[in-house]
Amino acid sequence: MNIRLKVIALIGAIFVVFVWAEVLVERQVVMPSFAELERADAQTAMRRITYGLDRTLTELEFLATDWGNWADTYRFVEDHDPGFVAANISNIALRQLNVNLLMIVDRDGQVVQARDLDLQSDQPLRLELASRPALPEDFPWRVNLRAGTATRCLLRTSHGILLLAAAPVLDGHGNGPSRGMVVIGRLMSPAVVRSLSDQAQVQLAVLPPEPGVTAERVLETDSVTRVYRPFNDLYGEPVMGLRVDVPREITLRGYRAVRYASACLLAAAVIVLILLVVVLNRVILSPLALVTRHAVALGENKDLTTRLNLQRHDEFGVLAREFDRMVERVAASRTELVDQSFEAGFAELARGVLHNIGNAMTPIGVRLATLSERLRAAPAEDTAQAVTELQARSADPQRTADLEQFLRLASREMAGTVRAALEDVALITRQTSIIQTALTEQLRATHNEHVIEPVRLTELVAQSLEIVPDTCRRRLAVEPDESLRRLGVVRLARTVLRLVLQNLIINAADAVRDAGKERGTLRVSAEIVHEADRQQLHLQCVDDGVGIPAEHLVRVFEKGFTTKSRETNHGIGLHWCANAIGALGGCIWAASDGRGRGAALHLLVPLTAREIAPAAGAA
């Protein structure tokens, strides 16, 4: 797996972990908090219901207190006046009070007066409590009756749950002693339940008591949160249960909000993921892949002429530039190594090497002759004579002044001669180094195979010019054609072709000189020739020199043939070139339109596998 896939996999894993963490937080923190809010809301609703129920009992207690602290009621308990009953305890009075039961009991628990009423049908309810002549002996309120205190509670009846409240019968001024108790009751009718539900703004249900449930309980379903609370009657026994159903709107809205937030977060994460991948791909992965592909390509085809040329200012740009510099140094070292290890393969090529040494010796001879002339022209003897005459201490002051002036001028001239001599010596030293290299190559083994290297043709021409004498370079302008650059990199025996081109350039310079021109031109072009089973490089070197007569075109490559002076040329150069190109499996031929019209030398050299690299890929 490459680093691009690893980075994408890592980012994807981080994204998955992020999503998992987000879902975990939603389920373990956010949604439970919504459920807790709903439970708290439902419990608050139950408290409101309990408060409403308590307020209803308080209202009944106020009514009982109002009736009990009434002088007429106080007298009625004593005299049992039927007129009080007819005037005050009627069905109309019960409907006005919105109660279902009104009882007056004396201190002994005897029922003085009792009336119950169904407010819907206007018929008696015949409640058990109202039908008795006296309160039961175990009735808990007998304690309140004797103590003259108010109370309230719930009571189970055959018609449902009755809300009861009682207050002592007083003299109308709140004074006693108490003569009994006024009991007022209201059934837990659907209207009462609906009123309690409306007050709390929740859905309320009255249920039978559940066995064993003595405390408030919270139940949750997918749609509602239910709070169940049991209630006891005045005997302390479970009498009913109230259940509040609160729709889980908070959870539903929370789920919608969380889903919306999760979707937005997921979309943002996906966008960030895509942008991160794009940025990483552009800033890191693509340059890294480019450098990797370049390194692999160099390792596979060993073409050291291509360069990354990555125009960046970050670490990858620095790495690419340093890599290019390293490859350039390796290529230079390899070229130098190949140059140093180049060995001729055949004995016949030895004479060609000697010819090349002769070419290199020519500029040395010229430099030595020039140096000898400069040294001979130097006023050394005159200077020595002047020094001798000055040492003789001539009495003539004018003569002494002239001699001193002469010595100053002679010293300046000799200093210039020494500087020029040093330049000539430096050039001779370089040419001598070339001769020593050629001699070293000649002394090595002569049967090694040629080293095939990737090379640019423009660089090959430039390298050939480096070993051409200065006089040839001054006389001849070598112009590489655009076709050399377009072909880019080819794989061939660079060291052989370099020496061949050196011979052709020297011959072209001589042809320009023989044509009587001060300066001439050699134009070098190239093309790839496709044959059935191979490709060949066709090099053309066209000069504007003296040209070649038609009868000499077939003989210029013969051993010993030359049209130049036998004192300076032995007819070896082109013959060696033909042998060298033939050893590579190619051929060389000459073409000319006649004397004075220049000449063209054609080289056809087979190319090896991976011979051509696109020019755009190398810089």
Q: Which long-range contacts (CB under 8 A, 24 or more apart) does 433-441 make?
A: 434/360, 434/467, 435/357, 435/360, 435/361, 435/364, 437/340, 438/353, 438/356, 438/357, 438/360, 439/357, 441/342, 441/343, 441/344, 441/353
219 and 259 assigned to the same domain: no
User: Among the three residues 387, 411, 443, which one is the final residue of a domain in this structure?
Assistant: 443
Provide CB contacts within 8 A for 97, sequence distance 6+: 63, 184
Q: Distance between CA atoms of 35 and 352, rounded to whole angstroms?
A: 101
Locate the DSSP E strands across 417-505: 453-456, 476-480, 489-492
pLDDT (mean) for 39-59: 92
The answer to the question of residue 465 being in a domain is: yes
243 and 268 assigned to the same domain: no
243 and 264 assigned to the same domain: no
C-beta of residue 38 within 8 angstroms of C-beta of residue 246 = yes
Residue 346 corresponds to which tokens in the numbers above? 């055949």
User: What pLDDT sits at residue 610?
Assistant: 47
475 and 528 assigned to the same domain: yes
Confidence of residue 350 (pLDDT cuts 50, 70, 90): low
In the chain, how many domains are there?
4
Average pLDDT, the chain: 83
Provide CB contacts within 8 A for 562, sequence distance 6+: 569, 570, 571
* Short-list 535, 542, 543, 545, CA closest to 604: 535
125 and 228 assigned to the same domain: yes
Q: Distance between CA atoms of 10 and 4, rounded to whole angstroms?
A: 10
110 and 164 assigned to the same domain: yes
The answer to the question of residue 144 being in a domain is: yes
333 and 371 assigned to the same domain: no
- Tens of pLDDT, residue by residue over 518-557, are 899 999 999 998 877 788 899 999 999 999 888 888 888 8
What secondary structure letter does DSSP report for 137? T
Residue 313: phi and psi, rounded to 5, are -115, 10
CATH number for the domain including 537?
A: 3.30.565.10
The answer to the question of residue 139 being in a domain is: yes
- Tens of pLDDT, residue by residue over 547-606, are 988 888 888 888 777 766 554 455 578 888 888 888 888 899 999 988 888 999 999 998
User: Among the three residues 397, 421, 443, which one is the final residue of a domain in this structure?
Assistant: 443
484 and 603 assigned to the same domain: yes
Report helix, strand or coil for 35: helix
141 and 196 assigned to the same domain: yes
The answer to the question of residue 26 being in a domain is: no
Q: Are strands 520-530 and 476-480 parallel, antiparallel or unpaired?
A: parallel
218 and 286 assigned to the same domain: no
User: What pLDDT sits at residue 293?
Assistant: 80
The answer to the question of residue 63 being in a domain is: yes
pTM of this structure: 0.48
550-585: b or e for each residue (b if 16 or more CB lie within 10 Å)? Answer: eeeeeebbeeeebeeeeeebbbbbbbbbbbbbebbe
Q: Nearest 5°: CA angle at 589, between 586 and 591? A: 150
60 and 155 assigned to the same domain: yes
The answer to the question of residue 557 being in a domain is: yes
Q: Distance between CA atoms of 445 and 341, rounded to whole angstroms?
A: 10
Confidence of residue 308 (pLDDT cuts 50, 70, 90): confident
User: Among the three residues 202, 221, 247, which one is the final residue of a domain in this structure?
Assistant: 247
Question: Which domain range does residue 560 map to?
Answer: 453-617
The answer to the question of residue 78 being in a domain is: yes
Q: Distance between CA atoms of 611 and 457, rounded to whole angstroms?
A: 12
The answer to the question of residue 448 being in a domain is: no
Q: Distance between CA atoms of 293 and 121, rounded to whole angstroms?
A: 99
Q: Which amino acid is at 444?
A: R
143 and 177 assigned to the same domain: yes
Q: Which amino acid is at 491?
A: R
Residue for token pair 């040419």: 431
